[in-house]
Amino acid sequence: MTRPLRARIDLAALRHNYSVARQYGGATALWCVVKANGYGHGLFRVAHALSNLADGFALLELESAEALREAGLRQPLLMMEGFYSEDELPRFARHRLTPVLHSLAQVRWLVDSPMLDGLAEALPVYLKLNTGMNRLGLDQADFRQALAWLQASPRVAGITLMTHFADADEPAGITRQMACLADFRDGAAAGLPICLANSAALVRFPGARGGAGDWARPGIMLYGCSPCPAIHSAEALGLRPVMNLESQVLAVRELAPGDTVGYGSTFVASGPMRIGIIAGGYGDGYPRHAPTGTPVMVSGRRVPLVGRVSMDKICVDLSDIPAAQVGSPATLWGVGPAGHLPVEEVAAAAGTISYELLCALAARVAIQVED
């Protein structure tokens, strides 16, 4: 018998969430972000499902972009870290990939490298600006030089300015970085299209969305998660979960006062109780650091996790669900026969974020695709 743990991927929900992002974006074009294997949902699965909707797709790995092209995808592909070496330039040109340039070295490779001599068609490029995130991006002095080189180069078809918000769920952070951006957008940069908003900015800050000719980059919201769960739930934003991690009860055990549960005996029963053992553990991507009390759904009821998460199993308190038995359905996150449990709640209980849980889904977990 197949192990009773599966990730059910709801592609209709994915397309619905795209329509929500589209409503927020207005006239702005949308890069659908599919990095990290489509946030754990499957790169090709997600790209194919959105192929008739998305204006373009954003990712990191050159090999993944090439595979999408070979699979027939024709939309623009935005490479969010650009090229990592001069040797990759011919592959960018061959597959019509749009690089995000974040350093003077990358700009020099593009405009000067003999590896692009005879380039048949100029490439659109993005210039990433450091407006406060202090990871990748050009400061103002380097930006002016880079812009001059790119605007003078016949290899460049168009330039879009891009930045990334460090605090997209906080008004002060957005305001500060937007003010910094304004300092970049003068002189030769005036009027260039922009690409600013991620999911959180798209939802919360109309001034960062852009307009016709500009782009935004929805990511986590496409997969049904709120980008600002402390402010708006996914349900309140009209989003539907795409990944639904479903399992079932493998065994039921009656405990006496003083009995312990799991590795390290970290949970001690304070009285008689009934626990259920559920298929799914850190070997499947469930967070090992999820503490006692983390919510799980069993047979339509919310129950607390007890004891440490194991590689293959978790234990929950079934004392208040006398009807629960071996084979009863469980939802670790998402929507399933056992009920609805937002992945954001599981992530919050485990001290992390929904992004990590979705991206960490293990390869051994069976996938069921619904379209």
Residues flagged as binding site for substrate: 135, 311
Who contacts 184 (Cβ-Cβ below 8 Å, separation ≥6)? 129, 131, 140, 143, 161
Who contacts 268 (Cβ-Cβ below 8 Å, separation ≥6)? 258, 259, 260
**What backbone phi and psi angles, to 5 degrees, belong to 39?**
50, 40
Query: Could you write out the DSSP letters of every residue in 288-356?
Result: TTPPTT-EEEETTEEEEB-S---SSEEEEE-TT-TT--TT-EEEEEEEETTEEE-HHHHHHHTTS-HHH
How many angstroms separate the CA atoms of 303 and 348, rounded? 16
Residues annotated in the binding site, as ranges?
Answer: 135, 311
Counted residue by residue, the chain has a size of 371
Known catalytic residue at 263: yes
**Catalytic residue chosen out of the listed positions 35, 39, 223, 286:** 35
Query: Could you write out the DSSP letters of every residue in 240-296?
Result: --SEEEEEEEEEEEEE-TT-EESGGG-EE-SS-EEEEEEE--GGGT--TTPPTT-EE
Q: List the one residue out of 40, 68, 17 whose CA is nearest residue 244.
A: 40
Is 69 in a helix, a strand, or coil? helix
Known catalytic residue at 35: yes
**Catalytic residue chosen out of the listed positions 18, 39, 128, 263:** 263
How many angstroms separate the CA atoms of 45 and 65, rounded? 14
Residues marked as catalytic:
35, 263
